[in-house]
Amino acid sequence: MNYQPILDRIHAAIKPVLGEGKVASYIPELANVRADQFGMAVVDFAGNTYVAGDAQTRFSIQSISKLFALTLAFQREGDSLWSRVGREPSGNPFNSLVQLEREHGIPRNPFINAGALVITDMLASRFVNAENALVDFMRKLSAVNDIGYNRKVAASERSTSSRNAAMAHFMKSFGNMNNKVGDVLDAYCRHCAIEMNCVELAKSACFLANGGVNPWSGETVIDASSAKRLSALMLTCGTYDAAGDFAFRVGLPAKSGVGGGIVAILPGECGICVWSPALEPSGNSHAGSLALEMFTSITGRSIF
């Protein structure tokens, strides 16, 4: 399927809303990003790549890293991972603490900050250097060798990470954090500060749409059933407390980040990524959500 005319149409239609919403500013470095940028990429398993706008501009992937950190941890831990983190939507903001006490330090899912901190703790136990392990993983999934994290962004988040530190300490008090909180936070902030562009992220998500097989290397990343399950989690939990509305509007498994990126998959077909830094109050990209909504409306393709 040639998606280029559709992306061109979306790009033209989206222009009037670019910049509407707010760039994340609670991580000081992210506030410096221009709000009205927009990029979109669709990549199929044959490598056909369709792009619009700033699809080659790298941005801070932020919580999109949670999807890939989960995959990497799942490769190592298998189903025992689910004893330390749940699989239910939280219905609360991504950085909320309220459920943790009632639920004894077991985060609702791996895509909220508390869940991702537990996943990062697993990676810190399995790898000498958890941040490099994820960067290497992203290089393999995207088949791009110069992916890395932005030290300034990582340091900026680390210096303002009191809330994530509170969550990690709290979970440690319940026995759900094995490494030193400081080490886990360092790795977590570096994962969030990985920089990639829309094409690279669309390529990286293809294995999930392709039954767990990385189309660029032929390697099995996870088995087909696990790929299906992680995709289900993206649908129910991948876009924060707006996941219900997102499923209603877009109908694709997706994971968003406060850098303004959203990665989505059309199972059996392609990886998709949109990026526009201005966010809706839920923390999802405003123009990015609209672009994905238009994509599924125009093509008539979604998982439903």
234 with 267: CB under 8 angstroms?
no
Would residue 66 show up in a list of annotated catalytic residues for this protein? yes
Six token digits for residue 170: 């709290």
Distances (CA, A) of 6 to 203, 223, 287, 300: 19, 32, 16, 12
* Least distance between ligand GLN and beta carbon 36 (Å): 20
Pairing of strands 49-53, 261-266: unpaired
Q: How many residues bind ligand GLN (CB under 6 A)?
A: 11
Which one, 63 or 204, has the nearer CB to ligand GLN?
A: 63
What residues from 49 to 78 belong to the interface with ligand GLN (CB under 6 A)?
62-63
Catalytic residue among 60, 63, 65, 285: 63
Q: Minimum distance from CB of 188 to ligand GLN (Å)?
A: 7
For position 297 contacting ligand GLN by CB under 6 A, the verdict is: no
Q: What is the DSSP letter of 158?
A: H
Of 269, 223, 259, 124, nearest to 182 by C-alpha is: 124
Q: How far is the CB of 193 from ligand GLN (least distance, A)?
A: 8
Per residue, the 3-state secondary structure of 259-303, as one string, reads CCEEEEEECCCEEEEEECCCECCCCCEHHHHHHHHHHHHHHCCCC
User: Is residue 258 involved in binding ligand GLN (CB under 6 A)?
Assistant: yes
Would you count residue 113 as binding ligand GLN (CB under 6 A)? yes
Residue nearest to ligand GLN (CB): 63
Provide, rounded to whole angstroms, the least separation between the CB of residue 62 and ligand GLN. Answer: 3
Check residue 289 for interaction with ligand GLN (CB under 6 A).
Answer: no
258 is catalytic: yes
Give the residue with the Cβ less far from ligand GLN, 165 or 298.
165
The helix or strand, by DSSP H or E, that contains position 40, with its residue range, turns out to be strand 39-44
In whole angstroms, how close is the CB of 222 to ligand GLN at the nearest point? 23
Interface with ligand GLN in residues 188-247 (CB under 6 A)? 192
User: What are the C-alpha distances in Å from 123 to residues 116, 127, 284, 288?
Assistant: 10, 6, 26, 30
Phi, psi of 15 (to 5 degrees): -50, -45
Catalytic-labelled residue, pool 153, 156, 240, 276: 240
Quote the crossing angle between the two packed helices 162-173 and 113-126, to the nearest 10°. 70
Q: Is 283 in the site for ligand GLN (CB under 6 A)?
A: yes
Q: Tokens 């809303």, residue?
A: 17
Which of 194, 213 has the CB closer to ligand GLN? Answer: 194
Binding site for ligand GLN (CB under 6 A): 62-63, 94-95, 113, 157, 164, 192, 257-258, 283
Active centre residues (catalytic): 63, 66, 188, 240, 258
